[in-house]
Chains A and B, each alone.
Chain A
């Protein structure tokens, strides 16, 4: 890998490729679906919208902008968000097994969503309660784990809080009505992007975008996270603030993702590791690479999920099916994993 940047940032070629990937993926996937559109038609429809002309083909316009666009936007956001959150947690905990869910945010959000479905809230209500419970779970984990024990205590506390909320989810399922509520809860928990809509995006996108932006700006400073604690503190960085910021951003992102589309597993583990193998563990390269690679990956996987068969395949199943073999091949071809 050639790195032109002495701080360890991406080379211009890598930057171009990484930006082109999601853009290309969006244009291709806008054309794919039950109603086949050629890329040219997609371009025309988008062009008409942008220039303010009346749609030449109202049906294509509706398919592109009302059905596919929000879902693709959601996939972009969720992919980028979960990848960068996973990358942040792996560095924060110096642990390759850390995922965005390590501090229990997904379990907490799942509980919030299940509870909201049980209480018969509407979709926006489900999203809000899921987000709140996800954040609350991490807050609890941080509160019970921080102290003299160091960072590993927080991981343990996170796992405990996670299992606590998993148990609560089971409890909600147990009390739910088996005819209507239980299937809804189960389906929600499997994770799907098909509930995407502009109103849910308007609510869920700001935390994700803000989190990604802050982590992106923090990317040089994040290089301190994998260092031993004394080393990092002796550089004059307020380590507690840095860790808290990282956790807050990653939690906000993940809680918001889970609240919109349920538990989408694997992305937060796979994409950062793939990026580490390709671009090294310097966050100057790793953070932007995770953001762009994650968004492209998610858009492609979700498109397969919604259009490969007539019934939709849960996206978690696909991320694992596609991602795990790809990961193993890459791991064997490169030097393997390094933090």
Chain B
């Protein structure tokens, strides 16, 4: 299912507009990240998109139907919301009881959960690896455990769209990974995911779409790598940052490192990302699983138009397929392709780009 917001505007009564001209959409398999400085209205945006707050102008749609015209119960069978895990004053229900509350949209008002609901709750706990917490009280959970429980509560209603409010905030490294991995896995199964985040790096690593709020040029939405750029980060956050790449033996991960507060003269909004020009790149892929290799082949066949050369090197003894492709395309297109390949499970991908004199390192001279 596709959740979209069309021309969303919001202001509190007698207040300055908080959100203006919001456009975005997430379809099956998409992960959309919503970024922006504190107070830019990220949570407000999610609350408006779900109908908790009324848009002053514009609308939210589910598969093209205005959500205000969808009956409450039907709407929440299709979308689910994961609130930020706050441990304050939670009732002392067990994890299983808390998860079962998520089945409300599928249970009659005066009824209680039955065998099927219990079964579903068990499945979801199994899937997220929290079965061991089943009988623990919610008030005694750690932040990470609570966040996983809340995700389970959202999933138990079998939604098609998942909306997460800062799911990885206040969590340690490992729990952040657990939450983000869970989200990626769900998207790979066809879920449409939207999440708020304070980490541009998480947007770059996980999301294929991004919405950036708080920028002077208005909100911008699009492919993550064209939205989360050094320039846009400076415009929205007032921080000079470097988007670099972390190289592991298997793959290259994008990362964002903040350098310093930007000085007086901020860059002009608009203009390109400096990545529109055609470049030559050599991409090497090692696929451990057969399904991943086939999936990668499918993606590469879609790029035939700008493929200079392609080489398949099956290594049957090692159960690994190696591929080498040389592409001639705008850098944006190549990065988009790399992103899609990187999302496949059990795959190693790296690209080497032709030297480019135009791009110089951004440094803080002040």
Contact = CB atoms under 8 A, between A and B. Distances in A.
A212 B272 CA distance: 66
B93 A338 contact: no
A234 B50 CA distance: 9
A94 B110 contact: no
B356 to A, nearest CB: 47
A6 interface: yes
Interface in A282-325: 282, 284
Contact of A227 (B47, B101, B109, B111): B101
Interface string B16-54: 000000000000000000000000000000010010100
B87 to A, nearest CB: 12
B8 interface: no
The residue among B73, B91, B106, B139 with the most chain A CB atoms within 10 A of its own CB is B91
A133 B47 CA distance: 39
Contact of A282 (B97, B109, B118, B139): B97
B278 interface: no
B157 interface: yes
Contacts of B105: 235-237
Contacts of A6: 96-97, 118
A236 B97 contact: no
Given A217-B110, A281-B91, A338-B139, A7 B100 contact: yes
Contacts of A231: 81, 83
B112 interface: yes
A4 interface: no
Contacts of A241: 109
B139 to A, nearest CB: 7
A235 B92 CA distance: 18
Contacts of A338: 91-92, 139
Contacts of A242: 109
Nearest to B83: A231
Contacts of B47: 230
Chain B interface SS verdict (over half): helix
A198 interface: no
Interface stretch (A17-25, A218-226, A258-266): A218-226
Given A230-B81, A236-B73, A223 B97 contact: yes
Nearest to B75: A236
Interface in B126-179: 139, 153-154, 157
B214 interface: no
Nearest to B77: A236
A234 B78 CA distance: 11
Nearest to B96: A6
Contacts of A230: 47, 52, 81, 83
A107 B24 CA distance: 52
A284 B93 CA distance: 11
A244 B139 CA distance: 28
Nearest to B104: A235
B52 A224 contact: no
Interface string A56-69: 00000000000000
Contact of B110 (A218, A227, A228, A236): A218
A280 interface: yes
The residue among B52, B72, B81, B104 with the most chain A CB atoms within 10 A of its own CB is B104
Chain A interface SS verdict (over half): loop
Contact of A220 (B73, B89, B113, B157): B113
A180 interface: no
Contacts of A8: 93-94, 97
Contacts of A281: 91-93
Contact of B157 (A7, A227, A236, A284): A236
Nearest to A239: B72
Contacts of A34: none
A284 B112 contact: yes
B156 to A, nearest CB: 10
B55 interface: no
Nearest to A234: B81
Interface residues of B, number: 36
A339 B81 CA distance: 23
Given A282-B93, A338-B92, A233 B104 contact: no
A226 B91 contact: yes
Contacts of B97: 6-8, 223, 282
A252 B263 CA distance: 65
A338 B89 CA distance: 8
A284 B96 CA distance: 14
B91 A7 contact: no
Contacts of B110: 214, 217-218, 221
A23 to B, nearest CB: 26
Contacts of A221: 104, 109-110
A218 B101 CA distance: 13
B239 to A, nearest CB: 30
Contacts of A227: 91, 101
Contacts of A223: 91, 93, 97, 101
A94 B89 contact: yes
Contact of A7 (B72, B106, B109, B112): B112
A223 B98 CA distance: 9
Interface in A184-238: 214, 217-221, 223-224, 226-228, 230-231, 233-238
A281 B100 CA distance: 16
A249 to B, nearest CB: 12
Interface of A: 6-8, 94, 214, 217-221, 223-224, 226-228, 230-231, 233-238, 241-242, 280-282, 284, 338-339
Given A94-B89, A221-B109, A281-B93, 13 more contacts: A223-B101, A226-B91, A230-B81, A231-B83, A233-B52, A234-B76, A235-B105, A236-B73, A236-B77, A236-B157, A282-B93, A282-B97, A339-B91
27 contacts: A8-B94, A214-B110, A217-B110, A220-B107, A223-B91, A227-B101, A228-B83, A230-B47, A230-B83, A231-B83, A233-B52, A234-B50, A234-B76, A234-B83, A235-B153, A236-B75, A236-B104, A236-B105, A236-B106, A238-B109, A241-B109, A280-B92, A281-B93, A282-B91, A338-B91, A338-B139, A339-B89
Q: What are the nearest 3 A-B pairs in CB distance?
A: A236-B105, A236-B76, A234-B81
